[in-house]
A and B are shown apart, each in its own frame.
Chain A
Amino acid sequence: MKLRFVLNGESVEIEVRPDRRVVDLLREDFGLTGTKECCGSGECGGCTILVDGDCRLSCLMLAAQLHGREVVTIEGLSRNDRLHAVQEAFMEHGAVQCGFCTPGMVLAAVSLLARQPRPSREQIREGLSGNICRCTGYVKIVDAVEAAALKLANGDRR
């Protein structure tokens, strides 16, 4: 099928099998390897992307579902070489170790902050409940999201 959607701010058109998984489409056809696949079954959140602004699992979506939608992957988050406040906060708080979970974790955090600009720590944990990290132990991740919320509230970053 001919698939048209907006990917990281740009309209794209591609001839693709409709049953291709979105995670494969992004990684293999578009070369966007920031999106990770780990479990392939909805349990780890490594494949998280934003679709029309909310977080989704790209391992459980088929290409056809993207038609007409707006997709953001980790590659589309920075603007003019400037990292998103959540990305910066992750670096500053040591919320990244091996980095495998990080793209999904960051995108889940971005969508959380978009609907809940000042979440409590409990709300952060809840909002990130679908993203699993085997390295950082979560405290630093929650710290980072809290700090990113402050940064965004102070308007110094998008």
Chain B
Amino acid sequence: MTNVLIPESMEELRRILETHPGARVYAGGTDLLVKMRSGLEAVPPCLVCLERIAELDAVSEHGEVVRIGACVTHTRLLADPVATEHLPVLVRAVEVLGSRLIRNMGTIGGNVCTASPAGDTLPPLYVLDAELELRGGTGSRIVALKDFIKGPGQTVLGENEILAAVRIRKPRMFNLFHYEKVGQRKGLCCSAVSLAAMLRVSSGGVVEDAALAWGSVGPTVVRSREIERMLIGKELTAERMREAAAEVGKIVSPISDVRADAAYRRAVAGNLLLRLAARDGSSP
């Protein structure tokens, strides 16, 4: 039998993790319990559910920084005024994550720690330069998201360490926010390719700054400064985007799997840029 423990404070959690070697934490269970049941993950001697630790469960504002507790569910994030005001690119991705039921249970921390190349919160968090607050027995540390994820399912989380919160600096310099995923159907679907984009577009329609990240086209999210630089200083037109799209095909390294083959993913990754040109630069 697996023991299941549900601490109500960080202190209690710390004690549990120290005294139960091999314990595994979970939040909503929508990834872990599914994988355990299908045999993709080993069943640990002890499961520790984080859902009742109030400190992990809040969205707060600290000057220019928004801090999202790891156990904030997707539904909660969508209802949060700070998130909806300051983080539209993330909110758009969360809107299309799973279903209402999955969003009621799944958390941002679970999505990050699962480290799936298809995780919907990841491309937005990459363009937002998110930082992660990790908490371990001996203290806490801050790690940039891009340094946290090493590969599919692989993170730098240490033994007895948990993700406590995601920290994001409010993106002040952008005025166009976009997230799109392409998959086989609309609901309950992992993306075959996704794109998160934040642009600053001048009143004359020229791109002044750009942050772009693709999901599901490599072992981790792909953020490309090269492509970002290609767009800066150019007009946001379909023609310019088509030129950039051709380059995107060269920098991504998708795999073929049941959801899509590599060539399709490469083509779609570029084509998703075209949607940016169809957007009115002034709209949020």
Contact = CB atoms under 8 A, between A and B. Distances in A.
Nearest to A128: B100
Interface stretch (A26-34, A41-49, A147-155): A41-49
12 contacts: A18-B3, A19-B3, A42-B98, A45-B99, A45-B101, A56-B105, A60-B29, A61-B105, A62-B49, A64-B6, A65-B51, A130-B102
Given A57-B105, A60-B105, A130 B34 contact: no
A64 B4 contact: yes
Contact of A129 (B34, B37, B100): B100
Which of A112, A126, A130, A131 has the most chain B CB atoms inside 10 A of its CB? Answer: A130
The 3 closest A-B pairs by CB, nearest first: A130-B99, A130-B101, A18-B4
Contacts of A117: none
A54 B73 CA distance: 13
Given A60-B29, A65-B4, A108-B101, 14 more contacts: A19-B47, A41-B37, A41-B38, A42-B30, A42-B98, A42-B102, A55-B104, A60-B30, A61-B105, A62-B29, A65-B51, A127-B100, A128-B100, A129-B188
Contacts of B38: 41
A113 to B, nearest CB: 13
Which of B3, B28, B51, B101 has the most A CB atoms < 10 Å from its CB? B101
Interface string A118-147: 000000001111110000000000000000
A128 B187 CA distance: 10
A19 B101 contact: no
A48 B101 contact: yes
Contacts of B29: 60-62
B33 A60 contact: yes
Contacts of B104: 54-56
Interface string A87-115: 00000000000000000000010001000
**Count class of interface residues, chain A:** 20 to 34
A56 B34 CA distance: 15
B100 A130 contact: yes
A55 B105 CA distance: 9
A131 B47 contact: no
Contacts of A129: 99-101, 187-188
A139 B64 CA distance: 46
A82 interface: no
A157 interface: no
B92 to A, nearest CB: 14
A158 interface: no
A57 to B, nearest CB: 5
A116 to B, nearest CB: 11
A64 B8 CA distance: 13
Nearest to B34: A41
Contacts of B1: 17-19
A1 to B, nearest CB: 8
Nearest to B51: A65
Given A19-B1, A19-B4, A43 B188 contact: yes
B138 interface: no
Interface string A4-19: 0000000000000111
Contacts of A60: 28-30, 33-34, 105
Contacts of B75: 54
Contact of A126 (B4, B100, B102): B100
Contacts of A65: 4, 6, 49, 51
A131 B102 CA distance: 11
Contacts of A41: 34, 37-38
Interface in B59-102: 75, 98-102
